[in-house]
Amino acid sequence: MATTNEPSSGSWDATQWHEVKKGETLWKIAEHYYGDGSLHTKIFEANRDTLKDPNLIRVGQRLRIP
Amino acid sequence: MPKSGWFWKGISNGLVLVAAAVTLVSCESADKAPATAAITAAQGAIDAVKGEAAKYVPDQLSALEGTLASAKASFEKQDYKAALASAQDVAAKAKDLGSAAAAKKAELAKSWEGLSGGLPQMAEAIKSRVDILSQSKKLPAGLDKDKLESAKAGLASLNQSWTEASAAFQSGNMTDAIAKAQAAKAKAVECMTALNMPVPEAAK
Say whether pLDDT at B89 is over 70. yes
The pLDDT tens digits for B102-143 are 999 999 999 999 999 999 999 999 999 999 999 999 999 999
CA distance from start to end of chain B? 94
A42, A30 Cβ separation under 8 angstroms? yes
Mean pLDDT over residues B42-53, rounded?
96
Q: How far is A56 from chain B (nearest CA, A)?
A: 22
Q: What angle do CA B124, B152, A45 make, to 5 degrees?
A: 40
Instruction: Say what the pLDDT of residue B30 is.
Output: 85
Report DSSP state, residue B140.
P
Q: Taking the CB of residue B88, how many other CB atoms lie within 10 A of it? A: 17
- Give pTM, 2 decimals: 0.76
CB contact (8 A) between residue A35 and residue B143:
yes
| More confidently predicted of B11 and B24 | B11
ipTM of the complex: 0.90
Chain B partners within 8 Å of A14 (Cβ)? 118, 121-122, 124-126, 192, 197, 200
The whole-number pLDDT of residue B10 equals: 65
pLDDT confidence bin for B60, thresholds 50/70/90:
very high
Q: What is the per-residue pLDDT for B145?
A: 96
The answer to whether the Cβ–Cβ distance between A39 and B122 falls below 8 Å is no
Q: How confident is the model at residue B2 (pLDDT cuts 50, 70, 90)?
A: low
